[in-house]
Amino acid sequence: MTAFNIMLAPGDGIGPEVTAQAVKVLHKVSDRFGHRFQFTEEPVGGVAIERYGTALREEALRRAKGSDAILFGAVGDPRYDDPTGTVRPEQALLKLRGGLGLFANLRPVRISESTIDASPLKPEKVAGTDFIVIRELTGGIYFGRPQRRWLSEDGRAAVDTMHYTEPEVQRIMHVAFRFASQRRKRVTSVDKANVLDTSRLWREIAEETAAQYPDITLEHVLVDACAMHIVNQPTRFDVIVTTNMFGDILTDEAAVIAGSLGMMPSACLGDLREDGTGFGLYEPIHGSAPDIAGQGRANPVGMILSTAMMLRHSLGLSREAETVESAVALALADGCRTADIATDTQGLTTWQMGDAVASRI
């Protein structure tokens, strides 16, 4: 029997509630398919600051490297919102992404017929939406230096640096084009090339990469226009590739299509093995939602679908991944909804929704 080592990093707010549902689903997968999942748990974010004074211990990073994959809940805690503070829960995520070389963030955006009523957009506009955003994750303005604030002659001042190198752009482009090869063969590269030098470099390298994939169509769209198209004409996209910050913003916007941030999964991957799998970190794209934490109201679907992505991309278990995805689709088709996507009822609790999926595996 194969044993997989999974590091659980439930984090803050609703993180632990949704992570518990993912674990429940994995237990069902192991019953049905005979795999063994070994879990270790690591405090990250606000809970780690509370306990160790840092959002992520060095030791945690070492242990993460020894695991097959990380399931990450959410981080963020209003107690650490002080803009002058030096420790912040979000540092856990950035340290893991940077420290583990997870440069490619995959964020699929899909809408199923059964939940179309949960979308605030017109059904005829969103029906059939199926695209994936490939967000560069370890470069750009998130990681560029200098990044600091100081007291200048004109008062308080601050600087962030948007920085990209050729290899950083090349490797994310290849991820996007490879995905497009297996999909509808269309890449939309999103930038702000009318203003930014980093974007002009991005665009140039997108063109060079496209030359190596003759069957893929490449288009360039400016980020402001893309923000408009995502809600106005979401079905036009297949693969969107973009920088760290633009990807962050556009994927929250894209989540509106499905009706809730709670539905959206994501995968963070680095270099892959020959067989196309590799170490990864998997997290729903929603945050810690402190306003509803501990109340059992969070939607665990994004976390459960992230777990399916882990089965596929890190553990090489595609059949198991499809089984989990079908169980989610079945539960939704049967009308199982948490409050965020329920239209007429009060909705299921986080646990009930987790059970609804697990019982369909």
Buried/exposed code over 270-279 (b: 16+ C-beta within 10 A; e: otherwise)? bebeeeebbb
Under a CB-based contact definition with an 8 Å cutoff, are residues 245 and 222 in contact?
no
56 touching ligand IPM, by CB under 6 A: no
93 touching ligand IPM, by CB under 6 A: yes
For residues 79 and 67, what is the distance between their CA atoms, to the nearest angstrom? 31
- Of the residues 28, 125, 185, 252, only one is catalytic, namely 252
Q: Is 213 a catalytic residue?
A: no
> Which of 248, 320, 325, 340 is the binder for ligand IPM (CB under 6 A)?
248
Q: Is 192 a catalytic residue?
A: yes
CB of 90 or CB of 130, closer to ligand IPM:
90
How many residues appear in the chain?
361
Nearest to 316 by CA among 354, 273, 345: 273
Q: How many CB atoms lie within 10 A of CB 63?
A: 15
248 touching Mg ion, by CB under 5 A: yes
Task: Choose one: 182-190, 242-250, 253-261, 327-335; the region binding Mg ion (CB under 5 A).
Answer: 242-250
CB of 309 to ligand IPM, least distance (A): 14
CB of 21 or CB of 251, closer to Mg ion:
251
- Of the residues 24, 68, 77, 142, only one is catalytic, namely 142
17 touching Mg ion, by CB under 5 A: no
Q: Is 248 a catalytic residue?
A: yes
Q: Is 355 a catalytic residue?
A: no
> Which of 90, 130, 160, 355 is the binder for ligand IPM (CB under 6 A)?
90
160 touching ligand IPM, by CB under 6 A: no
CB of 168 or CB of 248, closer to Mg ion:
248
Which positions ≥6 away from 95 have C-beta within 8 Å? 55, 56, 61
**Partners of 143 in the beta sheet?**
none
136 touching Mg ion, by CB under 5 A: no
Q: Which residue has the tokens 């209003």?
A: 78
CB of 252 to Mg ion, least distance (A): 5
Structure tokens belonging to residue 102? 């997870």
CB of 266 to ligand IPM, least distance (A): 7
H helices of 182-300, in order, are 197-210, 223-232, 244-258
**DSSP-derived secondary structure letter, 273:** -
**Partners of 69 in the beta sheet?**
6, 280
Nearest to 332 by CA among 360, 293, 307: 360
Which positions ≥6 away from 259 have C-beta within 8 Å? 115, 118, 119, 120, 340, 341
Q: C-alpha 92: how far from its chain's center?
A: 15
12 touching ligand IPM, by CB under 6 A: no
Structure tokens belonging to residue 251? 């994927």
CB of 7 to ligand IPM, least distance (A): 17
- Per partner kind, with CB cut-offs from 5 to 8 A, the member of Mg ion, ligand IPM, none near residue 93 is ligand IPM
263 touching ligand IPM, by CB under 6 A: no
- Of the residues 24, 68, 192, 238, only one is catalytic, namely 192
- Per partner kind, with CB cut-offs from 5 to 8 A, the member of ligand IPM, Mg ion, none near residue 90 is ligand IPM
283 touching Mg ion, by CB under 5 A: no
CB of 264 to ligand IPM, least distance (A): 10
Count how many Cα atoms sit within 13 Å of the Cα of residue 361 in the half-sphere of its side chain. 26
Residues 276-335 that bind ligand IPM (CB under 6 A): 285
CB of 75 or CB of 126, closer to Mg ion:
75
Return the SS3 of 186: strand
For residues 299 and 356, what is the distance between their CA atoms, to the nearest angstrom? 12
CB of 93 or CB of 190, closer to ligand IPM:
93
For residues 162 and 182, what is the distance between their CA atoms, to the nearest angstrom? 31
Give the footprint of Mg ion on this chain (CB under 5 A): 248
Q: Which residues are marked as active site?
A: 142, 192, 224, 248, 252
Give the footprint of ligand IPM on this chain (CB under 6 A): 90, 93, 248, 285
